[in-house]
Chain A
Amino acid sequence: MNKNLLELIVSLVLIGFSAASLMTVGMAEDTASPFLLAQERSLGGIDYSSFPRLYAIVLIILCSLNVALLIKKRCWTTQLDASHEKRRRILWLTLATGVLTLVYTLLLPYINFVAVTAVFLFVMFRLYGRTNLLKNGTVAVAGSVLFWVVFVYLSHLTI
């Protein structure tokens, strides 16, 4: 997996999204304001679907162009740059970060803010290599309480 191959995949995915947009933009029709006359909504030949359609079509063209350019460059033959071992570790850390953050946000509406934030911070500190569990815990709890005071108590965020 290298940069160019990833870009190729991203471009293909974008083509898919743009095509999907073209197909689904019409779904908005029945949510338009019932109080506006039809001709008032499409003055100048443009209505609510014109701009999205334009963007989607241009995107498809541009991404196809990009795909062609990348294939011409034979993207999949480029060498990997960093050591395999290090990259796997970083990738795993990145994935773990993403998943843990997602879990944190999913749990937030159900569990007390200070508790779940403290646990999240504690886990993340350990994940990133801080081994002094006592220090981790203290900072995690202190930070969570500070956040609670500033964002929930003072700012009345209903988290």
Chain B
Amino acid sequence: MLKKLIPSLALGAAALMMAFAPAQAAYPEKPIHMIVPWAAGGGTDVVARALVEAMKKFTDVAIVVDNVTGAGGSTGNKKVAEAAPDGYTILFNGDTDILGALSVMKTTYDLDSFKYVGGVFYSPTWILSHKDRNITSMKDFIEKAKADPNKLILGSTTPSGAQMVMCASIQAATKAPFRIVPYQGGKDMTKALLGNQCDAGIIHAPMLLPEVKSGVIKVIGTGGSLANCSYEPVRSIKPLAEEGIPVEMGINRGVLVPAGTPDDVVQKLTEIVKSAAESQEFKEFGERFGFTPQWTPGDAYKKGFVKQMETFEKAKAAM
């Protein structure tokens, strides 16, 4: 009697098991919220939206960008770190921006609170100066600073963030007597640079690229390679490390998920993001924006975080 039942029992058990199968088996099946911890219209936000548009070709679900601003990005980072690890809440931010938030505040999350899907857009952090200041390179800036102590101003877009760390690192490495002045965001820094109110300013590339193209603003240094820049003349500017100032800083913007997210979900998400990042559409956006996008796989992306962390730790220790 029991033998006859076995097939039905097996079928029933299988059906039951399927009913209780984790929802992720069919990931993604509802809208994905991509959290951008910066204001709408800003650099990271624009890249995120371009990526989302490219991602739409590789998945049927809606992907929505949520701008969750505050605390140098920490509010948004925290929201994702504490979100349900089901792959429907993902973070889009830059590696050095996250590190900046971590190195200054006491946070409830850290690098281990996330799994790293991958980086989609790298750009170095560059040092700009108004053409009327007649500063030709960082070496020139350092010399002028030494000649006139405590006069030259190197601006940073925030008092505590990647750009500030770069300022502090440069000062520690060169021991040059210039002043570091923090501005109140990219908007403020842009205004100061355009109005020639500071000698030089540090900001993530490709902000102010149009002004560089027109010659109003000069690039006097960069924290990383500019070889991928869509504007040819700046490609040859050597990174600070090759000019004798051992400071590296750039921003690799990418996608992160909460740490508990199951591997298969991460895998599926990675496929979507990778395809979008390598798509023609995103490439064209990148070229227009200023840099050719590059895909950094998850492991390498995480390694990049750890490596950049050293710069932040060193800068903090030097103070």
Complex A–B touching at CB under 8 A = yes
Report the Cα distance A158→B34, complex, angstroms: 12
Q: Which residue from chain A places its CB closest to the CB of B169 in the assembled complex?
A: A35
Does B315 belong to the interface (CB within 8 Å)?
yes
Q: A37-B319, A40-B180, A40-B181 are in contact. List 15 more A-B contacts (CB 8 A).
A: A32-B159, A33-B104, A34-B103, A34-B160, A34-B316, A35-B160, A35-B164, A35-B165, A35-B168, A35-B180, A36-B164, A156-B64, A156-B66, A158-B33, A158-B66
Tell me what chain B mostly uses at the interface: helix, strand, loop, or mixed: mixed
Report the Cα distance A32→B316, complex, angstroms: 13
A-B contact pairs, 9 of them (CB 8 A): A32-B159, A33-B159, A34-B104, A35-B159, A35-B165, A36-B159, A36-B180, A37-B319, A156-B33
Report the Cα distance A40→B181, complex, angstroms: 8
* Residues of B within 8 A of A (CB-CB), count: 20
Does A79 belong to the interface (CB within 8 Å)?
no
Does B239 belong to the interface (CB within 8 Å)?
no
B105 & A33 in contact (Cβ 8 Å cutoff): no
Does A31 belong to the interface (CB within 8 Å)?
yes
B182 & A33 in contact (Cβ 8 Å cutoff): yes
Residues of B contacting A35 with CB < 8 Å? 159-160, 164-165, 167-168, 180, 315-316, 319
Residues of A contacting B159 with CB < 8 Å? 32-33, 35-36
Give min CB distance, A38 to chain B, whole Å: 10
Residues of B contacting A34 with CB < 8 Å? 103-104, 160, 316, 319
Does B139 belong to the interface (CB within 8 Å)?
no
Question: B-side interface residues toward A, CB under 8 Å?
Answer: 31, 33, 64, 66, 103-105, 159-160, 164-165, 167-168, 179-182, 315-316, 319
**A 116-159 binary contact with B (CB < 8 Å = 1; else 0):** 00000000000000000000000000000000000000001010
Interface positions, chain A 28-84, Cβ under 8 Å from B, are 31-37, 40
Report the Cα distance A126→B261, complex, angstroms: 46
Residues of B contacting A32 with CB < 8 Å? 159
Give min CB distance, B220 to chain A, whole Å: 21
Report the Cα distance A36→B164, complex, angstroms: 9
Give min CB distance, B88 to chain A, whole Å: 11
Give min CB distance, A74 to chain B, whole Å: 48
- Given A156-B33, A158-B33, A158-B66, check contact A33 B179 (CB 8 Å): no
Q: Which of A31, A32, A34 has the most B CB atoms < 10 Å from its CB?
A: A34
Residues of B contacting A33 with CB < 8 Å? 104, 159-160, 164, 182
Report the Cα distance A127→B58, complex, angstroms: 51
Give min CB distance, A159 to chain B, whole Å: 12
Give min CB distance, B157 to chain A, whole Å: 13
